[in-house]
């Protein structure tokens, strides 16, 4: 298993540009999450999904959109990049929220800079 | 006040020392996670706890549900243990949210 994969690893955007951060997991996990990590701060939840076709906002959803058309993929879309979105983005997945298999598996992260 | 507080924020110790990192939380939880973030940025899940104690190699995690407190211990610390250790709690109240602490930066000197 590859686990959770994210692309790209690094990206520099200009203000107002758009991009999609890709996240794929091959563990058949139903729950998937997008987090951002700002320097010196804890991870903040942007969006999450409890299964294909179902998404919900987390703590800091403004400026982002997500979709979950398949179990494996959970892309994060930035429509109009702003400097405040400069951060490291982590995708994670887990088997189920309430059962014993709820260890979270994290992707390697995407470091995004908006200039 | 953050719902998940970790202490200390930073810790430098000599190789071989016994390390303790603490996590206190203020919400009802179904589970608590300890994560390790390597200097390169990757995050690895170390433990998931809902009660008692777990051990994996030189790492031990404990949780006291009544006191809303968890500790992560590292025995015989080694420079390769240098990383940021993150405590995260899963809310008990059906919204499946996970709340993260800001992390404890550990540096083990050879």
- pLDDT of chain B, 110 residues: tens digit per residue: 678 999 999 999 999 999 999 999 998 888 899 999 988 778 988 988 888 999 999 999 999 999 999 999 999 999 999 999 999 998 776 566 788 899 999 999 99
User: B31 and chain A: CB distance < 8 Å anywhere?
Assistant: yes
Q: Choose from B93, B97, B102 for mutation: most chain A CBs within 10 A.
A: B97
Closest residue by Cα to residue B74 from B55, B50, B53: B55
Mutate which of A31, A40, A104, A110 to test chain B, going by most B C-beta atoms within 10 A? Answer: A104
Q: Of A38, A12, A8, whose CA–CA distance to A23 is shortest? A: A8
- Look at residue A94 and tell me whether its pLDDT is greater than 60: yes
Do residues B14 and B108 touch, judged by C-beta distance below 8 A?
yes
- Give residue A101's pLDDT band: very low, low, confident or very high (50, 70, 90): very low
Bigger pLDDT: B98 or A34?
A34
Residue length of chain B: 110
Q: Which residues of B touch A92 (CB under 8 A)?
A: 43
pLDDT band at A96; cut points 50, 70, 90: low
Distance CA A82, CA A64 (A): 11
Query: What is the pLDDT averaged over residues A17-30?
Result: 94
A-chain residues within 8 Å CB-CB of B45? 103-106
At residue A100, the pLDDT reads 43
pLDDT computed for residue B38 by the predictor? 87
Chain B positions in Cβ-Cβ contact with residue A106 (cut-off 8 Å)? 35, 42-45
């Amino acid at each position: 298993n590859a686990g959770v994969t994210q692309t790209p690893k690094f990206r520099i955007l200009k203000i107002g540009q758009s991009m999609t951060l890709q996240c794929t997991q091959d563990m058949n996990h139903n729950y998937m999450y997008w987090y951002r990590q700002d320097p010196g701060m804890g991870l903040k939840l942007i969006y999450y999904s409890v299964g294909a076709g179902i998404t919900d906002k987390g703590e800091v959803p403004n400026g982002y959109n997500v979709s979950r058309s398949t179990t494996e993929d959970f892309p994060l879309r930035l429509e109009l990049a702003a400097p405040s979105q400069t951060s490291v983005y982590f995708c994670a997945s887990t088997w189920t929220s309430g059962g014993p298999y709820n260890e979270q598996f994290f992707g390697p992260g995407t470091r995004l800079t908006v200039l | 006040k953050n719902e998940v507080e970790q202490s200390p924020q930073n810790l430098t110790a000599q190789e071989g020392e016994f390390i303790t990192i603490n996590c206190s939380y203020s919400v009802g939880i179904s589970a608590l996670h300890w994560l390790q973030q390597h200097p390169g940025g990757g995050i690895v899940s170390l433990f998931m706890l809902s009660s008692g104690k777990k051990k994996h190699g030189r790492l031990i995690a404990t949780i006291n549900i009544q006191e809303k407190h968890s500790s992560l211990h590292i025995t015989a610390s080694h420079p390769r243990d240098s990383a940021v250790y993150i405590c995260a709690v899963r809310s008990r109240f059906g919204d499946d949210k996970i709340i993260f602490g800001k992390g404890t930066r550990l540096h083990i000197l050879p």
